[in-house]
Chains A and B, each alone.
Chain A
Amino acid sequence: MKTIIINYGAGNIQSIKFALQRLGVEAILSNKAAEIKCADNIIFPGVGEASSAMRMLKENGLDTIIPTLQQPVLGICLGMQLMCNASEEGNTQGLGIFDTEVVRFSQHVKVPQIGWNTIKNVKGTLFDGIRENEYMYLVHSFYAKKCSEMIAETEYDIPYASALQKNNFYGVQFHPEKSSKAGSKLLENFLKL
Chain B
Amino acid sequence: MLTKRIIPCLDIKNGRTVKGVNFVNLRDAGNPVELAKIYANQGADELVFLDISATEERRKTLQKLVLDVAAQVDIPFTVGGGIASIADVDRLLQAGADKVSINSAAVNRPELINELSSKFGNQCIVVAIDAKQVEGEWLVHLVGGKVPTKIKLFDWAKEVEKRGAGEILFTSMDNDGTKDGFANEALKKLSKIVNIPIIASGGAGNITHFKDAFIKGNADAALAASIFHFKEIGIPELKMSLKQQGINVRI
**A115 near B96: Cβ-Cβ < 8 Å:** no
Type the 1/0 row for A9-25, where 1 means its CB is closer than 8 Å to any CB of B.
00010110011011000
The interface residues of chain A, by DSSP majority, are classed as mixed
CB contact under 8 A between A117 and B121, given known A107-B195, A110-B196: no
**A115 near B74: Cβ-Cβ < 8 Å:** no
Interface contacts (Cβ under 8 Å), in number, total 93
- A184 adjacent to chain B (CB < 8 Å): yes
**B40 near A180: Cβ-Cβ < 8 Å:** yes
**B76 near A47: Cβ-Cβ < 8 Å:** no
**A116 near B45: Cβ-Cβ < 8 Å:** yes
- A113 adjacent to chain B (CB < 8 Å): yes
**A181 near B5: Cβ-Cβ < 8 Å:** no
CB contact under 8 A between A115 and B3, given known A110-B220, A139-B123, A180-B75: yes
Q: How far is the CB of A10 from chain B (nearest CB, A)?
A: 9
List of A residues within 8 angstroms of B250 by Cβ: 116, 135
**B121 near A48: Cβ-Cβ < 8 Å:** yes
Type the 1/0 row for A109-129, where 1 means its CB is closer than 8 Å to any CB of B.
011111111100000000000
**B120 near A18: Cβ-Cβ < 8 Å:** no
From A22, A111, A181, B195 is in contact (CB under 8 Å) with A111
List of B residues within 8 angstroms of A110 by Cβ: 195-197, 220
- B167 adjacent to chain A (CB < 8 Å): yes
- A155 adjacent to chain B (CB < 8 Å): yes
**A22 near B1: Cβ-Cβ < 8 Å:** no
Q: How far is the CA of A111 from the CA of B167 in the complex (A)?
A: 9
List of A residues within 8 angstroms of B124 by Cβ: 47, 139
From A22, A117, A118, A135, B74 is in contact (CB under 8 Å) with A22
List of A residues within 8 angstroms of B76 by Cβ: 137, 139, 175, 178
CB contact under 8 A between A114 and B74, given known A155-B1, A156-B2: no
- A183 adjacent to chain B (CB < 8 Å): yes
Chain B residues packing against A (C-beta within 8 Å)? 1-5, 40, 45-46, 67, 70-72, 74-76, 93-96, 98, 118, 120-124, 166-167, 195-197, 220-221, 250
Give me 19 A-to-B residue pairs in the complex whose CB atoms sit less than 8 angstroms apart, sorted by A's number. A15-B98, A21-B71, A48-B121, A112-B122, A112-B123, A112-B166, A112-B167, A112-B196, A114-B197, A115-B45, A116-B5, A117-B1, A135-B250, A139-B76, A141-B123, A156-B2, A175-B76, A180-B74, A181-B74
Give 5 nearest A-B pairs by CB, closest first.
Answer: A14-B96, A48-B121, A116-B250, A139-B123, A135-B250
Chain A residues packing against B (C-beta within 8 Å)? 12, 14-15, 18-19, 21-22, 47-49, 107, 110-118, 135, 137, 139-141, 155-156, 175, 177-181, 183-184
